[in-house]
């Protein structure tokens, strides 16, 4: 846009210069002006005025003053009118009270208007100067009004975006609270009933199953409260949640080994460093990855590598190609990975997943050590 303005100003200056050059060449002035310059000198004044007029939009006041002074050796020059219009359109309004008389006075002095002064001889000069001044004032005022309207519209649009974002945040917090209250109530009932079943039953198998169900319910409650705390981050205090032990990954690996999966776990660094929120997210990533490996790559070896360093936690879960085809009822649509991406993103991490060159699959998560889940 700036280049287009430069081109337009250059065209205006060039057209004015060509017009005034034609005036000098084909309508030579009569002897009697203040300086009585010859044609070469007048052409030099025209060239200088043309060069100055190119900057009429960038420095309208200075350009008008210079062109007005150049009107003394070349009275009646149209450069002064063009510059006066530019001062009204692009300069400050109060400067016109000085520039308009300056342009008229320069032409008056250059033409030796005091000799045999008659008002009618200078009426056209005053008319054109008044006309271009009013035109410049109108264009400048209209341009400022349009710019003000655009600015107000943009400000209103930004305010609407902020209000919409605030409304979405409020609605998200409200829904998170309702989800927490309703789902927590149901899971609590499930945990209590499982605990009661484990106490009342005489069958060891039933008691073990009830205890497993109770532990799963307790873990689901902890994860739900943690997720609600993340959603409420920065607005309300985070909920106190049960922590995931630092060696919980060993339990996940043992569970997979018990069902016949060849799993290798490698942990580097201090596993107790990350915050509870990050440990739960890491636990969920490894858990989902092992579940997907069991479902979609039966018989494949799985390697879990977790590294704690430089305030970050990185986890890489890689499995080889399947030794047997996956069951038909275990193929998924990537919903679990999408959920992991959202969960990892909530704590400020990243997750990448995709096939490997040998036909296996790889999940890589990068998490920060600490993510606050409540208001500062």
Asked whether 188 and 225 are in contact (CB, 8 A), the reply is: no
SS3 assignment, position 375: coil
Average pLDDT over residues 275-288: 85
The domain spans of the chain are: 2-117, 248-368
pLDDT interval class at 306 (50, 70, 90): very high
- Over the chain, what is the mean pLDDT? 79
Contacts of residue 300, Cβ cutoff 8 Å, sequence gap at least 6 = 262, 293, 319, 320, 321, 322, 323, 360
CATH fold of 248-368 reads Heat Shock Protein 90 (3.30.565)
Between 22 and 116, the higher pLDDT residue: 22
**Is the pTM higher than 0.75?**
no
Tens of pLDDT along 7-54?
Answer: 888 888 889 888 888 888 887 665 456 677 788 888 888 899 889 988
Between 239 and 275, the higher pLDDT residue: 275
Between 359 and 179, the higher pLDDT residue: 359
Asked whether 241 and 278 are in contact (CB, 8 A), the reply is: no
Between 61 and 226, the higher pLDDT residue: 61
* HSE-CB of 115 using CA atoms within 13 angstroms: 7
- 275 pLDDT exceeds 80? no
SS3 assignment, position 196: helix
β 302-309/263-268 pair status: parallel
pLDDT interval class at 284 (50, 70, 90): confident
Strand partners, 319: 302, 361
- 210 pLDDT exceeds 50? yes
Tens of pLDDT along 229-259?
Answer: 666 654 433 334 445 565 678 888 888 888 7
Tens of pLDDT along 184-195?
Answer: 777 777 888 888
What is the Rg, in whole angstroms, of the alpha carbon atoms belonging to the chain? 41
> Which has the closest alpha carbon to 349: 329, 370, 330?
370
């Amino acid at each position: 846009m700036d280049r287009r303005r430069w081109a337009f100003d250059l065209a205006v200056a060039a057209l004015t210069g060509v017009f005034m050059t034609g005036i000098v060449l084909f309508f030579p002035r009569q002897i009697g002006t203040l300086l009585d310059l010859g044609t070469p000198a007048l052409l030099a004044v025209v060239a200088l005025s043309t060069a100055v007029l190119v900057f009429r939009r960038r420095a309208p006041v200075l350009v008008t003053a210079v062109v007005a002074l150049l009107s003394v050796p070349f009275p009646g020059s149209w450069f002064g009118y063009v510059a006066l219009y530019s001062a009204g359109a692009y300069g400050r309004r109060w400067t016109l009270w000085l520039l308009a008389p300056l342009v008229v006075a320069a032409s008056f002095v250059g033409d030796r208007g005091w000799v045999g002064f008659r008002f009618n001889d200078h009426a056209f000069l005053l008319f054109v100067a008044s006309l271009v001044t009013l035109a410049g004032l109108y264009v400048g005022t209209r341009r400022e009004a349009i710019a003000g309207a655009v600015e107000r519209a943009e400000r209103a649009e930004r305010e609407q975006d902020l209000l919409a974002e605030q409304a979405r945040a409020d609605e998200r917090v409200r829904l998170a609270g309702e989800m927490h209250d309703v789902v927590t109530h149901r899971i609590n009932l499930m945990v209590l009933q499982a605990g009661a079943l484990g106490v009342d039953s005489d069958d060891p198998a039933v008691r073990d199953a009830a205890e497993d169900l109770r532990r799963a319910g307790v873990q689901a409650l902890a994860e739900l409260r943690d997720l609600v705390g993340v959603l409420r981050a920065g607005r309300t205090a985070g909920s106190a949640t049960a922590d995931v032990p630092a060696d919980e990954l060993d339990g996940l690996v043992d569970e997979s080994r018990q069902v016949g999966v060849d799993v290798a776990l490698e942990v580097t660094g201090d596993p107790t460093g990350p915050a509870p929120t990050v440990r739960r997210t890491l636990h969920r990533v490894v858990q989902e990855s092992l579940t997907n490996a069991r479902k979609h790559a039966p018989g494949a070896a799985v390697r879990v590598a977790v590294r704690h360093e430089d305030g970050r936690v990185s986890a890489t879960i890689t499995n080889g190609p399947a030794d047997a085809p996956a069951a038909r009822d275990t193929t998924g649509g990537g919903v679990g990975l999408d959920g992991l991406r959202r969960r990892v993103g909530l704590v400020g991490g990243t997750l990448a997943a995709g096939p490997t060159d040998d036909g296996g699959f790889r999940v890589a998560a990068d998490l920060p050590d600490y993510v606050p889940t409540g208001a500062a």
